Structure 1
Amino acid sequence: MARRISSSQIRSRLRQAQAKMRQAQAKRKQAINKCNQAVRTYNAKARAHNARVRANRDRLKRELQKLARTSSKPQYVTFRTSVETFQRSYSVLENRAEAEIYDDRYDRFLDLSEREAANSASVMNALEGEVPENENDESPPASEIDHILDAISQDVHDRWHGALFALSPQNPDAARHFCTSARELLTEILERFARDEDVKSVLPDCEVTQQGKPTRRAKIRFFLHKQGVSDDAVTDFVEKDMENVVQLFRVFNDGTHGSSGRFEHSQLLAIRARVEGAVSFLWGIITGDAFAPA
């Protein structure tokens, strides 16, 4: 005998079915909204990334155009050669990227590499007397590498900010002070995060100095190896980047800059940006941020 269902039970079941339908519709709407938000977020990031890439590319193009129309002053011939060698290294990297040799995980590295190439050309142009694009800046920007300094030690942080404080056109000792601190910072990073024994353990056949210590290139290979990168063009670019900064230190130390033996304010800002950019670039490789999704 079939079970009889009262009208109130029918209405109750109908309400339950309607409630379940509304819940399903709400979940579906929520899923659609979440999907749309993800698409909007992705598109916004893509637009920001593309805008940054275009800005980097346009800036590099402008700096190279400036570089092409100037002839080097005698005291800067060696540094200009280093800049041109570095730009050729970047061209190799760019050509490989255009040939789609690198996958998406290299996007940020390539973005940062383009910035490094632009910074290198920019500081050369500033030394040659070209007006930097940041000439109208009223005051030096905050240091972009404080988070890196904090990760190393308070002493390194304090010494760096002391060097920035001394980086003034009125300070005849600015070059030596800043150069010493910048060199110490790069050395500290290489020695602390690529210890000789660790490099030799991971790369037993690495290049070594006459004293048997892993070379700077070997330490760079060590950092890249930890990120799963073994591309020679990438290694060469990072090595040329560090070498270009070292050559900049030699410009600082030779004592031939400027008629009064001092750098102009705009030149000091360009030099500072070059060093801080290189430190930030190297740190991104060490931490893996340079190979993280853009």
Structure 2
Amino acid sequence: MARRISSSQLQSKLRQAQSKIRQAQNKQKQAINKYNQAVRSYNSKVRAHNARVRANRDRLKRELQKLARTASKPQYVTFRSSVDTVQRSYTVLEARADAALYDERYDRFLDLSEREAANSASVMNVLEGESPENEYEHAPPASSIDHILKEISQDVHDRWHGALFSLSPQNPDAARHFCTSARELLTEILERFARDDDVKSQLPSCELTAQGKPTRREKIRFFLHKQGVSDEAAADFVEKDMENVVQLFRVFNDGTHGSSGRFEHPQLLAIRARVEGAVSFLWSIITGDAFTMA
């Protein structure tokens, strides 16, 4: 015999059923909203990425056009050769990317590499008298690598800011002082985060200097190896980029800029931007940020 239920019991069951339906509808609505939010976020990141790629590419194109205009000038021959080497190395990266040899994990690394290629050409152009694209009417912005320096040590941070303080057109040794500090900073990063024994352990067949130390290129390969990257074209570009900065130091140490060795303020700022960009690039590889997917 079927169980009889009262009117109030029936109403209660109906309310329970309606409540479950509303809960299911709310869950469905939340899922749809979450999906739509994820789609909007992804599309926003794609648009930002594409805009950044276009901006980087346009800037690199402009800098290379400027570079071509001064190709016949006799100044800074060795440094210009280094800049050209960076551009050729980046072209190899770009060709490999166009051939779909890199997955999306390399996207940020390629963006940063393109920026470095533009930075390399830019400082050459400024040394040749071209106006930099980012001129500051008053004081330049705070150092873009403060967060990196503090990760290394307070002493490194303080020494770097001492070097920045010395960057003045009235200081005939400004460039030399700054570049000495910059060289020390790059050396500190390589020595601290790619210790010789660690490099030899991870890369047993690594190339060594006459003193038995892993070369700079091997330390760069070590950084990439730690991120699961074994691409020689990537290692070659990073090495050429670091060598370009070292060649920039040699320009100033040789005192080749006129009889006084003085540089104009825009040139000093371009030197600073080049070095800080290179440090940021190297740091992004060490930390893995260069290979983090958006």
* TM-score normalized by the length of structure 2: 0.98
Determine the structure 2 residue equivalent to 1:190.
Answer: 190
Tell me, yes or no, if the aligned pair for 1:72 and 1:80 is still in contact at 8 Å: no
Equivalent residues in 2 for 1:97-136, closer than 5 Å: 97-136=97-136
Counterpart CA distance in 2 for 1:167 and 1:119 is 19
Maintained 8 Å contact 2:173/2:261: no
Q: Is the 1:83–1:244 Cα contact (8 Å) retained in structure 2?
A: yes
**One-letter amino acid of the counterpart of residue 229, structure 2:** V
* 1:176 to partner: Cα distance: 1.7
1:108-187 residue pairs with structure 2 within 5 A? 108-187=108-187
| 1:125-274 correspondence runs (5 A) | 125-258=125-258, 260-274=260-274
* Conserved? CA contact 1:109–1:291, under 8 Å: yes
* Aligned-pair CA distance for 1:73: 4.3
CA positional deviation for 1:283 = 0.5
The code of the aligned residue for 1:235 comes to A
Query: C-alpha distance in 2, partners of 1:135/1:259?
Result: 26
Question: What is the rounded CA distance, in whole Å, between the counterparts of 1:150 and 1:188 in structure 2?
Answer: 13
How far residue 38 of structure 1 moved from its aligned partner, in angstroms, is 0.8
The 2-side partners of 1:22 and 1:259 are apart by 83
1:59-105 deviation per Cα after TM superposition (whole angstroms, max 9, x unaligned): 00000000011135444111000000111000011000011100000
Partner of 1:51: 51
Mapping for residues 24-103 of structure 1, pairs under 5 Å: 24-71=24-71, 73-103=73-103
Q: What amino acid is aligned across from residue 173 of structure 1 in structure 2? A: D
The structural deviation recorded for 1:252 is 1.4
| Alpha-carbon separation, structure 2, partners of 1:19 and 1:189 | 61
Q: Secondary structure at the match of 1:204?
A: coil
Name the SS for the 2:109 alignment partner. Answer: helix
**What per-residue deviation string (whole Å, max 9, x for no partner) do you get for residues 17-51 of structure 1?**
01111111111111111111111111111111111
Separation in 1, partners of 2:64, 2:107 = 22
Q: Tell me, what secondary structure is at the counterpart of 1:214?
A: coil
Q: What is the distance in 2 between the residues matched to 1:218 and 1:71?
A: 32
How far apart in 1 are the matches of 2:211 and 2:8?
94
CA shift at 1:136, angstroms? 4.8
TM-score (norm 1): 0.98
Deviations 1:168-216 (A, max 9, x none): 1111121121011100000000000000011011111101001111000
Q: Mark the runs of 5 or more structure 1 residues left unpaired by the alignment.
A: none
CA RMSD, Structure 1 to Structure 2 (Å): 1.1
**Are the counterparts in 1 of residues 60 and 118 from structure 2 also a CA contact under 8 Å?**
yes
Q: Percent identity?
A: 85
User: What CA distance in whole angstroms lies between the structure 1 residues aligned with 2:73 and 2:248?
Assistant: 15
Inter-partner Cα distance in structure 2 for 1:148 and 1:135: 24
Q: C-alpha distance in 1, partners of 2:65/2:122?
A: 11
Alignment of 1:14-29 (within 5 A): 14-29=14-29
Aligned length: 294
For structure 2, list consecutive stretches of 5 or more residues without a partner in the other structure.
Answer: none
Is the 1:72–1:128 Cα contact (8 Å) retained in structure 2?
Answer: no
